Amino acid sequence: MRLRTAAAWLALLAVTGCGGGSAVSDYGTVVKGAKGTTVQVELRQGQRFSLAVADNPSVGDDWSLVAAPDTKVASFISEEHESEDEGPGSGGTTYFVFNSKRPGITEIRLFDCWRCGQDRTPATEESRRQSGEAIFAVTVK
């Protein structure tokens, strides 16, 4: 009985990704985007993929998923951050990780609310100018 319980516990740890670092270790196919752009993404059914945007929270970047995909076409897994280096003020990349599911077309929108604070609304003219969307037009074949 103990062996079965231990095996179940190890299987649960493997599925949930417990351990140090990010929640996922496989970003799959990485597609880079940026504020003010629309990127076309073509994937196979069942393919893991990540939408990547450059960010630097120390200067005010705060990316979020604002338009999730059609859940029949793709499913959201997690949001991950990686710094370029360990120094204070260093930039990095935010990855929004998904799995493609069934054939179809969907749109995923990411929004960088620059220096917005808790209310997630640009409060100043500079914040409105620096904020923006990265759009990903996803086709699963």
Q: pLDDT value at position 121? A: 85
pLDDT for position 94: 96
Rounded Cα–Cα distance for residues 95 and 53 (Å)? 7
CA-wise closest residue to 96 among 68, 116, 115:
68
Looking at residue 120, its pLDDT comes to 79
* N-to-C CA span, the chain: 45
Angle, CA of 1, 18 and 58, to the nearest 5°: 170
Give residue limits of the domains in the chain.
24-140
Cα–Cα distance measured from residue 134 to residue 53, given in angstroms and rounded to the nearest whole number = 8
Rounded distance between C-alpha atoms, residue 44 and residue 68, angstroms: 19
Whole-number pLDDT of residue 11: 39
Architecture of domain 24-140: Sandwich (2.60)
- Output the pLDDT for position 24: 76
Q: Per-residue pLDDT for the chain (141 aa), expressed as one digit of tens each?
A: 444 433 333 333 343 333 344 567 899 999 999 999 999 999 999 999 999 999 998 888 999 999 889 999 999 999 999 988 776 777 899 999 999 999 999 999 999 999 987 777 888 899 999 999 999 999 999
Which burial class, exposed, middle or buried, applies to 76 when counting CB atoms under 10 A from its CB (0-12, 13-18, 19+)? Answer: middle
Query: Is this structure's pTM higher than 0.85?
Result: no
Are the beta carbons of 82 and 54 closer than 8 angstroms?
A: no
E strands in the chain: 29-33, 37-43, 48-55, 63-67, 74-83, 92-100, 104-112, 132-140
pLDDT at 76: 97
Q: What's residue 10's pLDDT?
A: 37
